[in-house]
Structure 1
């Protein structure tokens, strides 16, 4: 059942991501041509500022979702209802806190914004704030779908809403060049998507609307509070690691520089989100596995996910390193290129952070929150210190050096340490031996791909696609040759064969579930 749910969720997630990727390119192109680089910078800056406000949510969602795994697996409805009620109340408070914090920042926006001619800054910020607060009123409901391994429903609704939203925003930008209308459409579609998902949950799980008669036991409450505090500390640190880049760039360089960086960030985030569709849709299945299976079974699955994680992240890291600047040149022009040093730093950071994905996923599903609660804060302190010093000497590259160095000094080794010590009870050197071996293979594959590229012309979309296709095939061929005899590869090959053989069945299952929802809704 776990494998079937994961396959269904991954299929829906990847389909959703393909749609989002295409629409993102079209939308970004129209945005740049209609409004210019400064509005792009404002868009990235306000996104970063409001990510900081969202720290009010940090810890609550993850902690409650973790506590839901076992009662959902045991079908303990009274406890599920009590936890969901707590979830609902917590998010109502969160929405209010984020709104008040957001409004309190409005008088100080000039502190973060340097050298801009953009008008109506306060109104633009207010619309960003509304779009940030609104989902908190509904998120507790559709998170229950994720815990039940029905992520494909969430992916499907957001796919449709994304198509509608982006098409409407493209039309507004093309015909009116009005950023305000652009943001209003985004707010309306986001609200409607959340309402629709909430209604779906009500129909699928009507017991959640029943009167709550069971109270949470003291142990569950104590565990929730303990984990919530730990995750809050972790997410505060994480924000100051990844969320302040745009603020630093805007403060020390310019809003236009944020716009340049946002194009690279969009392309890298698209790759990261694509991979996360695979792992996020395995996440709740892994949580169910940790709750039920032995350490040996969990360790075997971890090794499989680590190979898959390496394969996907290293493949896309190499492709990004070789083609991100040529793509930007073909797509929007040479004035949007930032230089090879920035690209190298961004790609190494992408790879290092991505390689921690499988171990971090296991850490979270195993409920390891308290032990490393101060790790992100230590990393954040190092990141801000190094970035603040180097940005004044090296410019934008100094900020990214700070992010990379702080990651290597702290979570690079602490995250696997806690998992191997508590979950696997095995020596940490096993992890780093495997990590080093994988990284060497990646460097060899990158060198081979770069060598092949050197023989092909560089100009034009046709040659870009040709070089990209050849490199993609070469890297995968190298990995298949190296790993084809391993147990992990054979397991993944079996899963791939299952996916191919069950595509008609998956389609039929999706149709069947859709009809079931319609019938339930008519009752």
Structure 2
């Protein structure tokens, strides 16, 4: 059942995200060319500001979700209902807290965006307030779908409304060029999607009922203890994800911020696609951990090492693809005037590699709890990111700010290694570090050889992208197959794939 649901989640994720990626490219180009860099910058900066305000969520979703995995495995319907009611009331409190933070944070807009008119900045800001608060008051039912590996049901609904949103944005950009209307259609469609999911929730989970909860329930279940430590994680992750845009808007202006936004728009869409693939495994990992004892047995260790290899293969392919295709794609999509330096692309690829390479490790870390064990790593990550971003930007522009993000990301990774190999994969840290050193060497080979092959393509523009894409799809994967195809971890992945094929054949 886990394998089947993982495959269904992945299939729906791939299909929907690919189409949304294409629509997102169209809407981004229309936003930049039809509304200008000031509107684009205001949208990017305000979005990142609200990421900061989401610190008020305190990580309550993650804390309750890893407890919910345990109760779903035990089939304890009473506690499932209790946790879901706690989740709902916690998010209502979070929504009110974010409303207060939004009122206070409005004063920072003139300092962060000095070259954006105040009326434009505050209008976009107000629209984001509405959008964010609607999400916090309506989104809570999605947690059960995620924890029971039925996220594809939400993906179906989201896909329909996201396509509608993109088509409406395209229509507004072309025929009714009003940025208020442009951003408003997204709010309406998001609210409608959450209302449809809420209606379906009552049918799919009839045993989840409203339960009476109090502050005493939160204290007795240790939620406040976990939230106290998880707040550090939440703050650090928020600074990591949002600082580049805010620092660039303050120190580089709207033109550079828009250029950065063009690159991050592509990477965000691609990351959403990758997240859907990786999230398909996340719930299965939670069930594996809580179906068994706290420490991994031999089979669970095989699963971990196999999934870790998959994470590296995915990361090396993504980093190589960005390195070889980002600049020619950007030139064909937006034009040569919108390019950032190749040094930025290289650092960007390293950051993407770090993130995807330990994504499976991060999924294990998320379901294990014990957030106090790596809290100081997260504090160091946030401090390094902020200090280095402002220190390096004057000399290296956006490349320096992104280099600070890479350093912070590595510190975060080190903390996750500490928790997983202390709580679950005990005694295996040295093996993991040796594998990562080997991965770094093979990554350099994949990126270097694929870059050289792509440079040999004489064509430019859209025509040159097709042969380069073929090279990127084949060469790094063939190199990784040569490096790792003989390993026991690859053998596990082959066995896993064979089981999937057999199950598909048996059903047909």
Question: Does the pair score TM above 0.5?
Answer: yes
- 1:217 deviates by 9.1
Pairwise CA distance, 1:388? 1.3
CA shift in 2, pair 1:500/1:254, >3 Å: farther
Instruction: Answer yes or no: is the 8 Å Cα contact 1:83–1:216 preserved in 2.
Output: no
What is the aligned partner in structure 1 of residue 148 from structure 2?
148
Gap change, CA 1:115 and 1:483, over 3 Å in 2: same
- Residue 392 of structure 1: CA displacement? 2.1
- Distance, in Å, in 1 between the alignment partners of 2:391 and 2:301 is 42
Distance in 2, matches of 1:214 and 1:238, equals 29
Per the alignment, residue 491 of structure 2 pairs with 490
CA deviations on 1:182-211 (whole Å, 9 max, x unpaired) are 11111100101111111111111122235x
**Residues 20-55 of structure 1: CA deviation (Å, up to 9, x unaligned):** 211111111222221122222111111100111111
Deviation, 1:446, is 1.7
Q: Which is worse superposed, 26-35 or 496-505? A: 496-505
Q: Take 1:471 and 1:418, find their aligned partners in 2: how far apart are those partners?
A: 35
The aligned residue for residue 441 of structure 2 is: 440
Name the stretch that deviates more: 212-221 or 130-139. Answer: 212-221
SS of 1:140's partner is coil
* Displacement after TM superposition at 1:3 (Å): 1.2
Deviates more, 1:491-500 or 1:440-449: 491-500
2: CA distance, partners of 1:161 / 1:401: 36
Greater mean deviation of Cα atoms: 330-339 or 133-142: 133-142
SS of structure 2 residue aligned to 1:395: helix
Q: Does 2:267 align with 1:271?
A: no
Judged with a 3 Å threshold, the aligned counterparts in structure 2 of structure 1 residues 219 and 157 are, in CA distance, closer, same or farther, namely: closer
Q: Who is 1:23 aligned against?
A: 23
Instruction: Show CA shifts across 1:201-241 (max 9, x none).
Output: 1111122235x379899798343222222211111112122
CA contact (8 A) 2:35 2:177 kept: yes
Aligned residue for 2:424, secondary structure, equals helix
Q: Would the aligned equivalents of 2:139 and 2:194 in 1 still touch at CA under 8 Å?
A: yes
Corresponding residue number in structure 2 for 1:135: 135
User: Are residues 43 and 497 of structure 1, via their aligned partners in 2, closer, same or farther at CA, if it must alter by over 3 Å?
Assistant: farther
Q: Deviations over 1:418-449 (max 9, x none)?
A: 21122111142111111111221121122221
**Which stretch of the first structure deviates more once superposed, 175-184 or 472-481?**
472-481
- Structure 2 counterparts to residues 217-366 of structure 1, below 5 A: 221-293=220-292, 295-296=296-297, 297-366=299-368
Q: How many angstroms apart in 1 are the aligned matches of 2:484 and 2:289?
A: 26
CA distance change for structure 1 residues 215 and 176 in 2, over 3 Å: closer, same or farther?
Answer: closer
Cα deviation for residue 103 of structure 1 reads 2.1
1:63 aligned onto 2:53: no
After TM superposition, give the deviation of residue 496 of structure 1 in Å. Answer: 3.8
Residues 10, 277 of structure 2: 8 Å contact kept: yes
Residue 376 of structure 1, CA deviation:
1.5
Alignment of 1:469 with 2:465, yes or no, is no
Alpha-carbon distance in structure 2 between the residues aligned to 1:299 and 1:480:
22
Q: Find the aligned partners of 1:186 and 1:219 in 2 and give their Cα distance.
A: 34
Once the two structures are TM-superposed, the CA of residue 108 in structure 1 deviates from its matched residue by 3.4
> Against the structure 1 CA distance between its residues 178 and 374, is the aligned structure 2 distance closer, same or farther, given a 3 Å change threshold?
same
- Residue 374 of structure 1 is matched in structure 2 by 376
Going from structure 1 to structure 2, the CA distance change for 1:393 and 1:445 (only over 3 Å counts) comes to closer
1:497 to partner: Cα distance: 4.7
Give me the whole-angstrom Cα distance separating, in 2, the residues matched to 1:496 and 1:461.
Answer: 35
Q: Against the structure 1 CA distance between its residues 335 and 2, is the aligned structure 2 distance closer, same or farther, given a 3 Å change threshold?
A: same
Q: How many residues align?
A: 505
Q: What corresponds to 1:157 in structure 2?
A: 157
In structure 1, distance between residues paired with 2:502 and 2:9: 16
Distance (Å, rounded) in 2 between the aligned partners of 1:46 and 1:75: 42
Give me the whole-angstrom Cα distance separating, in 2, the residues matched to 1:467 and 1:262. 24
Aligned pairs for 1:365-404 (under 5 A) are: 365-404=367-406
Deviation at 1:304, TM superposition (A): 1.3
Q: Taking structure 1 as reference, are residues 501 and 424 closer, same or farther at Cα in structure 2, changes over 3 Å only?
A: closer
Match of 2:479 in 1: 478
Matched residue, 2:453: 452
- Whether the 8 Å CA contact 2:368–2:423 is kept in 1: the answer is no
Q: Tell me the residue number matched to 1:515.
A: none
8 Å CA contact retained: 2:302, 2:492: no
Separation (CA, whole Å) in 2 of partners of 1:258 and 1:376: 26
RMSD between aligned alpha carbons?
Answer: 2.2
Alignment of 1:74-223 (within 5 A): 74-117=74-117, 119-209=119-209, 212=211, 221-223=220-222
| Residues in 1 aligned to 2:173 and 2:506: alpha-carbon distance in whole angstroms | 41
Judge which range, 270-279 or 181-190, deviates more. 270-279
1:518 alignment counterpart: none
* 1:79–1:216 Cα contact (<8 Å) kept: no
How far the C-alpha of 1:484 sits from its partner, in A, is 2.2
Compare 201-210 and 86-95 and name the one that shifted more.
201-210
1:430 aligns with 2:445: no
d(CA) in 2 for partners of 1:477, 1:104: 53
Q: Which runs of 5 or more structure 2 residues have no equivalent in the other structure?
A: none
TM-score (norm 1): 0.92
Distance (Å, rounded) in 2 between the aligned partners of 1:401 and 1:439: 17
